[in-house]
Structure 1
């Protein structure tokens, strides 16, 4: 199955699942309509990488092309929706995928209706609840995917571990931002648990477990998936500072305003002069950082060699993943697809 076909079938499975849930919510109250509209808008975007890796983990382990695996893989998009909604609340992000973040949508609804009370608090509360709903629905969609009980039982342990790891990674990310002095090592720990495992390794493991993978196949998928997941997040860190807003769907330098203690920032601080480090620490995390301030910090990151060092790391992790994939005991169709996904995950502009 081609990447474009996987995406199409995942989109269809997601739409069908949400449409099945819609009447029950609207029976409770028409006031839940904005919740569904916010979810529809969020699910309308995204790269569908996690479902694609899950599908090819299944195929790599010998699974056949059956509808149940698409629905199981598509459930990861509801888990991702939950993570994004909560992440945007914690980061006070204004946009997601080129449109207002969920908590900003509900904040705007509060203001438009002229309701009393704190619009921002209402927005955050509503977003947290929608994120929780997406988390619950991710499990429901997985359990009703159509695969047999034995397959789902094999996958459930991986699914549970994946959800635990991403929440722990999110906490570590928040902790590093609070402490304000992440090293490359601590930033990489956040990358591993918040992104690398969650985005690539565990979706591969989920698909493989559902298919009853041999231990050597699972180990090979780790050898490929974990370094590729790190490279994916490092590319995301670069885009968070240097990406084109028209491509990324977020304002230029948004990660700098949010004060994200990324590997890119840690590499820059390691190489910075005292004056450069002081400027970077002083302006990082300033929510009022303007375009000139963003340019100043970008210049520091480039001149210290932080950007070049991060690009070198991306290249090394990709090479490690490619070498592991070349030696993996999987059939050629899965190998080709995973090789293409490696390029899509690490050379993207969004």
Structure 2
């Protein structure tokens, strides 16, 4: 995905410049309190996590969505990219609180950074992490409304963004409910995936890119949803595969977070449905145990491989990736070829990546 890498490289420099602009000594764009160090520290931690990267898939989707209809420079794409990446930062900070995750993107999670700073005040550490996530969320809307976009277009893009944020929160709530089901079925898992991640990670960037380029979404929204839905499921199944079978060095975090948090992921739901009584006892003893050791995780991986869960997940991820690619293939003749080819090739890449 050379084109995606190019978008990532250009965006990372732009993202760093955005954070510099918020607190520039000559007159930062964000008015910070004149006293106290906690507000600036919160913004610093939001910046650190944001700039530690990730795949920047949302950024590539935005630019390529605009490229479907034009090869001209499109005003507002940088602001939209910053917006969705700040929403991602908000989600990561809150996810790491919910899951009690020590590391994220090769460094400490925001929650654990605060826990290290306030070891004797756990409630304060928790509150500050929640507020840092909230700060990222509000900044993500602010950047769309304070740029140079025409007012009507800025409002339309902000509405798409706000809708994505709201549905993501409802998805996170459903994610917690899912784990009350001993072995959730595929439809529930697909719904969690759609609301918790697909709506903001795939569908919102597609909509924002097209809106920025001046396109009318109405005639195409159904097929955008279909493409996003299939790609989102493929991507999430692969993420769940990585969490159980992935390489820690490539991931930038310790595998097994789904086991330790008790999350009934695609992988663990399939394993719970397949395990015999003895195996189920091992699984149920480990699920939700934050101190689950590496030996137990290795045993769970062996059980999963015995039942072919690793192969089953790859097959399912490939099936949904092909469905997304087939949907994109129908866009030839309507939209620009090079951008359509990006959307055709993206699903296969999304289920072969190592992080």
Do the structures match in fold with TM over 0.5?
yes
31 and 283 in structure 1: CA distance in 2 versus 1, 3 angstrom threshold:
closer
Stretches (4+) displaced over 6 A: none
277 and 284 in structure 1: CA distance in 2 versus 1, 3 angstrom threshold:
same
Task: Give 1:114's aligned residue.
Answer: none
After superposition, residues 1-350 of structure 1 pair within 5 angstroms as 2-22=3-23, 23=28, 24-25=31-32, 27-44=34-51, 45-62=53-70, 64-111=72-119, 118-210=120-212, 211-328=214-331, 329-350=334-355
Q: Which moved more, 1:298-307 or 1:125-134?
A: 298-307
Determine if contact 1:187/1:266 at 8 Å carries over to the other structure.
Answer: no
SS state of the match for residue 27, structure 1?
coil
1:15 and 1:107 mapped to 2: Cα distance?
26
Offset at 1:215? Answer: 3.5
343 and 29 in structure 1: CA distance in 2 versus 1, 3 angstrom threshold:
farther
SS state of the match for residue 25, structure 1?
coil
SS state of the match for residue 2, structure 1?
helix
Q: Which moved more, 1:147-156 or 1:307-316?
A: 147-156
Determine if contact 1:72/1:145 at 8 Å carries over to the other structure.
Answer: no
2:10 and 2:142 mapped to 1: Cα distance?
18
User: How many residue pairs are counted as aligned between the two chains?
Assistant: 344
Determine if contact 2:141/2:162 at 8 Å carries over to the other structure.
Answer: no
Higher helix fraction: Structure 1 or Structure 2? 1
1:49 and 1:146 mapped to 2: Cα distance?
24
1:142 and 1:304 mapped to 2: Cα distance?
48
Q: Which moved more, 1:250-259 or 1:211-220?
A: 211-220
Offset at 1:289? Answer: 0.9
SS state of the match for residue 133, structure 1?
helix
1:184 and 1:301 mapped to 2: Cα distance?
18
1:341 and 1:29 mapped to 2: Cα distance?
46
59 and 147 in structure 1: CA distance in 2 versus 1, 3 angstrom threshold:
farther
Structure 2, unmatched stretches of 5+, are: none
2:9 and 2:35 mapped to 1: Cα distance?
31
- Provide the alpha-carbon RMSD of the alignment: 2.1
